[in-house]
Structure 1
Amino acid sequence: MDRSFTRDAEAVADHERAIQAPIDRKEAASGGDEQSDQAVQAGARPYPEPPFPKQHQRKPGDESRLDPAPLYDAPFWKGSGKLEGFAALITGADSGIGRAVAVLFAREGAHVAVCHLDEDQDAEETRKAVEAEGRRAIVLQGDVADPAFSKAAVKATLDAFGRLDVVVPNAAFQEHVEAFEDLTYDHFDRTLKTNLYGYFNLTQAAVPHMKPGGAIVMTGSVTGLMGNKDLLDYSLTKGGIHAFARSLGTHLAPRGIRVNVVAPGPVWTPLNPADKSAEDVSTFGSQTVMKRPAQPEEIAPAFVFLASPQMSSFITGEILPIIGGYGGG
């Protein structure tokens, strides 16, 4: 082979090393990137960042026991009638993202039906928070995997408020496994029943009662976009939710009903301490670009945006990721 190629290659390597050397010297002197472990604070107020107290909860998890308490009330958010006179039905509204969405919906003028599984205290706190915004709230307990409950919840919402404008399928089951062989049929079935059947049941029960201008805003996940090695079944359902929303959005467009998804990354809610080990909870969200998990109030504005015909009338079948830049965590 022509030696000139070798000489050229060696010259390029020397050039690359010359570029690298001053950077190596600077990093050695400074000890590396001093900002690499600091959480990003770019919001309306400072948000908690890892490490968190080590904690683990029994399912489905209680927001009242989380330390630090999730921030959901968004005191900086000023309502402007984006959902004035609307009625919304939200599953999993007792805590986490669901509670934060309920509060902002109420602040924008909507009455809210709060659905939950068995977290009575948390659900009561959500009801009080909605009523503190000057709107009405009803609390409904049941399993979203049961189609009869979805029908009953829709009827109760119509009976209470006389209409149904916004539906937020949000309730979810999540439990990790370290080995594929550990994912039992019962575990897999429970995840699909809650996360897929639950969304299907609610939307099918609600759609006949929705009018043009109505909206369905589903809760997806970064796991449905990127996958997660320990959340095989959960990721499958979230990807299914994304595809369901794209298809249902197309199907319902002629009826004037929009369907979209908010796909969060790590969010500080009871869902995760009720899944992860106490050790993992302490570093939850640290692998995102933001170096921290989102707080529920940082996610809820996206639901307002997609629910309001004032703000997103030309958007349907879309997935809106809110993932803190995502870093694989």
Structure 2
Amino acid sequence: MTVDPRQAGPRPPFPGDQQQQKPGLTSKMTPAPDHGEESYIGKGLLTDRVALITGGDSGIGRAVAIAYAREGADVAISYLPVEQSDAEETARWVEKAGRRCILLPGDLADEAHCRDLVSQTVGQLGRIDVLVNNAAAQVVNEELDDVTPTDLENSFRVNVFAMFYLAQAAVSHMEPGATIINTTSVQAKVAGEKMLIYSATKGAIASLTISLSNLLAPKGIRVNCVAPGPIWTPIQPIVKKPEELSSIGEKTPLGRAGQPAELAPAYVLLASREGSYMSGALIPVTGGMPML
């Protein structure tokens, strides 16, 4: 039975009056995002592997954690301490799949914490086979003068610098066949005028992915990235005004926002043997928005 992709998830309008303060919680979103809780079926593609997923408490990170667990992997997730309730819900789904999940709260803007995430993962789960750099800070601007040094520095620390630190720490523990998967964005190419900082960081991630893939290929470690379009995650009610939130995804060719569950298969492909000849790739999951 085929599924019409235009109808595969909720379509706008969404309730516009559900703004949240940073960092945002899944439990406060209407409609509730779909992370594949009731739909993702594993095939044993990641049996007995270990994955560290940043931003694994909610959104795309939660969907990836659930999918990886159902594919047979143990999972470590990082998140901000105020997101503890979301993280515990993710852990519940991972453990329901019969896999281990360790919770690692802290701030990715801190280099020492990034390196400790890898140490904790290896110490508690025995190894690290997959690093998913997914967490991101997003700020919006109306004018150029709205860009503050604090926003600029923090965004690059969380979105870009943390990827360097995590990769540096993880690679020394990785065997050939291990993978690094970065989350970039359609904004790396679309670069909306209100996303000056965010677009810059996501462009940097896309370039970093290619360079790192070339550097690590001789070690047998693959590096790729996924570029989401507008996805229904807690980042949306944080940064969007009511009228923007109400119509999210409306301008995509498919006419709707994506659900986190629709991203998970791309991350599974890139982490598994099925993606063994993929390195330096960018996979767009954008609802048809072009990345030219």
Residue in 2 aligned with 1:71? 34
TM-score, normalised with respect to structure 1:
0.85
Q: Residue 110 of structure 1 is aligned with which of 61, 73, 94? A: 73
Q: Distance in 1 between matches of 2:159 and 2:50?
A: 23
2:44 is the alignment partner of 1:81 = yes
Give the corresponding residue for 2:11. 49
Match for residue 33 of structure 1?
none
RMSD of equivalent CA atoms: 1.5
Q: Which of 249, 253, 266 is 1:285 aligned to?
A: 249
* Aligned 8 A contact 1:104 1:300 in 2: yes
Say if 2:277 is the partner of 1:314: yes
Q: How does 1:167-206 map to 2 (within 5 A)?
A: 167-206=131-170
**Aligned counterpart, 2:287:** 324
The corresponding residue for 2:102 is 138
Q: Tell me which residue corresponds to 2:240.
A: 276
Gaps (5+ residues) in structure 1?
1-40
Is structure 2 residue 208 aligned with structure 1 residue 212?
A: no
CA displacement 1:290-316 (0-9 Å, x = unmatched) = 1111000001110000011x2111110
Contact 1:289–1:327, Cα closer than 8 Å, also in 2: no
Q: Deviations over 1:141-196 (max 9, x none)?
A: 01112111112111111111111000001110111111111111111111111111
Return the alpha-carbon distance in structure 2 between the equivalents of residues 42 and 192 of structure 1: 38
Kindly indicate whether the alpha-carbon contact (under 8 Å) linking 2:6 and 2:255 is maintained by their aligned counterparts in 1: no
- Deviation of 1:278 (Å): 2.0
Q: 1:248 and 1:264 mapped to 2: Cα distance?
A: 20
Distance in 1 between the 2:235 and 2:168 partners?
A: 25
The alpha carbon displacement at 1:81 in A equals 1.1
The 4+ residue runs of structure 1 with deviation greater than 6 A are: none
Partner amino acid, structure 1, of 2:52: L
Q: Secondary structure at the match of 2:238?
A: coil
CA distance in 2 between counterparts of 1:105 and 1:57 reads 29
After TM superposition, the score normalised by the length of structure 2 is 0.95
User: How far apart are the structure 1 equivalents of 2:38 and 2:154?
Assistant: 37
Q: Which residue of 2 aligns with 1:92?
A: 55
The number of residue pairs the alignment matches comes to 287
% identity of equivalent residues: 46
Mapped partners of 2:152, 2:116: distance in 1: 26
